[in-house]
Structure 1
Amino acid sequence: MAPCSCPSSVLCLLPSLLLFLQLPPGGSPERFRVFGPLQPIVAELGKDVTLPCSLYPAMSAENMELRWFRSNIVESVFTYQDGQERHEEVMAQYAGRTSLVGKFLSEGKAAVRIHRVQASDNGLYTCFFSNRDFRGQARLELQVAGVGSVPQVHISGPEEDGVCVVCIASGWFPEPQVQWRHPRGEQFLEFSKVQAQDTEGLFSVEAALVVRDSSVGSVTCSILNPILLQEKAMAIVIPEPFFPRASPWKPAFLVILPLLLLLLLGAACYTWREHSTQELQKALDELQAILDQRKAAYLTAWRKAQLYADWRKEQFWAWPVTLDPGSCDNRIVIFHHKKSLWCSYYNTQKGLFLCGLEGITSGRCYWEVEVGYPYRTEWGLGVWRKDEKTRHNDPTPRDGFWVIAHFNNIFQAFTDPSTPLPHRHIPYRVGVFLDYDHGDVSFYDMTDGSHIFSFPPESFSGTLLPYFGCYFGNVSMTICPLVAGPQKPSVPMNNPPSLEEPVSPSGEGIPSGSGVDGAPPGPEAPLLPCTPETVSS
């Protein structure tokens, strides 16, 4: 390059000086992080809702490009670019229903308001900020809920030696929980339910109950929204004349049956005396084969029964599970006398896990676990064989794991290959039943007693431990105190889990700084480290 021939040295330096003035302080583009609400935002059907996001450190977003979108950036809910709204890029579903709340743009705070919330608005959203040199984004969840009609209850007629009562309700979202209750408050667990969704995504349910006890008098059908915890109920009186009359042949049959059994016993004794020892041994072998076949069929049916969790609890011992701080990563916080855990984890490559202190080597036992936000986090529960050779990154029975999980947005059992679980809803409260001697691990939804999944039976060896997996998101679990009778799940709505008496594996407490309302978490916070796994940029 030729030497500078400018008449003045100041003029020679002018281009470099202008370039320097265009750079932000520090000589590089100013970086920032985007923060959204840590907890899901709950919105009622037909009302308006606001989805806020903010920048840290605080800076003006007036000249930035702002987007709110669903699964990918093309599915735009709202776009702000070059100082104005871009309605032509918005999805048809949100046309005319979104607007910017931007009076705090100069402070780095912005929100999009969705008007007249619909059931289809339910799900995950991403807010995106870009200043052409740097960009960042944060995920947030909108949870739509709606309370539908009061249930209509009527008697459909006699059926199976009883009276069939039908309960119908519509206009609920998400899928509501249905209960039939006795006048004394007890629940009827055996009833059929059919559900459907209309064109707007709202649920309608029809539940049928057969009442066989004429002394019941009345029953109550209740419909519960699991998010708003709002319930609507209707009772109906069942007059005794509606029950079918007892057949006069039943008393006679009860008298004749013992006589037939005595005759069969006498015939068996006579046959035993008349036949040779060889024939008797043959008959005994055939009888043993029949008994073995029936026993196998009974065990298969026993494991696959759908509504018998309360009965099965009477056959199992309540296992006193205590979480083991020494078995987990320091990102898992243990509290409530080692009965609860909380973990904020956003690494999609692998998960964290811990186990119980008390090992199991024989007998039948069970424990129950409540999962906070089971739809919005990725977690696993089950049993782990204590073995130094176990591969933790492949949690299948082949490697010593019997686990069900909500993973990759699928409720599944970790078999090889994995088994999707067609459960009508992801349970908040899960019962883990372990029969060590018969090689059986089964799972139940403890809110209604229904069966979730049973692993194929196999022969156990070594020590088995309760397993708790934290795969993605703000995972919280609590080991339930085991009391008699079905329990109503405790589902937190908008508050983070209580962290009194925290015990982390390193013995340290939980420092301040939670990253709520746009403020970043403190640099020492073990629950929300400022890493790309927490906030993608």
Structure 2
Amino acid sequence: MEDRCKPSLPSGVSCLLVLTQLLSWVTSKEFLVFGPSDPIVAVRGGEAILPCSVFPAMSLEDMEELRWFRTRFSEAVLVYRDQEEQKEGQMPEYSWRTTLVKDQFHQGKAAVRIQNVQASDSGIYVCHFKQGHVQEEAILELKVAVMGSVPEVHIKGPEDGGVCVVCMASGWYPKPQVHWRDSRGQNLSASLEIHHEDAEGLFSTETSLVVRDRSVGNVTCSTFNPILGQEKAMAMFIPEPFFPQASPWKPAFLVTLTTMGLLLLGTSYLLRRERFARREVQQKLGNLQSEKDELQKIKEDSLSSLFSGALWKEHGQRKATYNAAWRKAQLYADWRKEHFQPWTFTLDPDSAHPILAISQNRMSVTRKDSTMCLDDLFCVLGIKSISSGRYYWEVKLRHGDSSKWTLGVCREGVDRKGCFSECPDKGFWTVGRSSSGYWAYIDSGMASLSIREAPQSVGVFVDYTEGDISFYNMSDMSHLFSFHEASFSGNLFPYFRLKSGNVSMIINSLTCVSEGWEGEEGRRRRKRSRKGRKGKRAKRGKKLVLPPLKESPSAAGEGLVPGSCVVDSVPGEESPFLQHARDTLFP
């Protein structure tokens, strides 16, 4: 018996801990507001009930304020204050159509009844309960549906080698789904579908179908309401004489046309192949000439270096210049990764707005409803902070080129409620996209970003010691913007904001990237590559002489302005600085 009791002890302790945490959280919050998880369905002209309840259950008689509103707090559907309904602030379209259901006030439940439901009532609602300093909200969704007329089907006449059949229906909400089926119940593809919306918000549809198979016989047009799950259908019989008679010369014409097309394609292929072979030969000749010129130049430089006793001295100077210039020349994101450590973190659900959905592994964030527009900022922070050193991370964007978003870092304890400015003066260093393009948010306003390709992934590089924050487009490895000599104090947290649209932000795992640049295996690969280049030069019997390279007397970072890149190299091409520093200075 003791053996059977032992397994239940850990589970009982776990349940007790969870219950204790829940009670302590509820006590600190005093109460929570809940609404139905599924959408509320109502028929046009009927009534709809929008219920909300509090947990733990308590009487709502003395609640300071109960408010149901649409997308904005000021757009009130119903307001209950001082134990009576208030008409002040109520939208005119809901006046005299709404009443408060108080039958279950003593159980902590309240609801708004909307009579004579209209199609415009469909959408998102928010119930807001306030008691003292505690304010809690819940989100509800109302879907209004109308079953329209039975489809009218008629034969229009011959069209495109078959018979055109038209189906019309009116008075539906929302937009109905139209389906064509044959006598065997198989779906048929419509050739044209047109929808119209009248002044009352109801939809009319007109759909055309071209039937070319004489054996079809009957066709059925059905209109389906996706909310109510109901449909109305009408069948039509197509007599065989309505089908057009086939012309005997058409098959011969099609065969001739196909043969001519194949001949043209073959001729075009042969011409392109000959042109490609000629171009390849010319390219090989050009490469051979270039290699010959390069070898001649290397020979001349090697001979001149025999008369110079300062070769190794210049080698040391170039090496020192290479190590000191990486900060002054921003170059590309991959180049900076050699000097930054990857920063691994997850999203903090406690800092997220209720409208945001955090994934189970806390590596991505999306919006639960991309059409909702409340007076709030939908943002979330990373769970780990930076207080020293150099770190970087990457953020993948889905649908980022058609949405509004912001990402970067922010100082610990910044104000993220109400209306605030995401500028360095307020503790934010961010870039993002608005309806007018891509921007960096600075103290004086917004700095426009010039991009070659819409970023699918953005790299964030934070140099806490030097006060530098840089952003890169990881899609084409181009520089977006840099904040230089920023004033840091305290901890910096990764910052993400989803303003509008169906954008998703995903924190990219940097484990493989780190191992590729900083791991022992990466260093061994670079060492083997350098030995290979050195062996090739020795085999040629040539001695490489370094071309002159002057170090700029300006301090690190001089001449770099926000939003600019020092190296004018096209993405995908290696910069001349990297070519000399990697291949020449460190063989």
With normalisation by structure 1, the TM-score equals: 0.47
Higher helix share: 2
Pair member with larger Rg: 2
Q: Which has the higher contact order (CA 8 A, sep 6+)?
A: 1
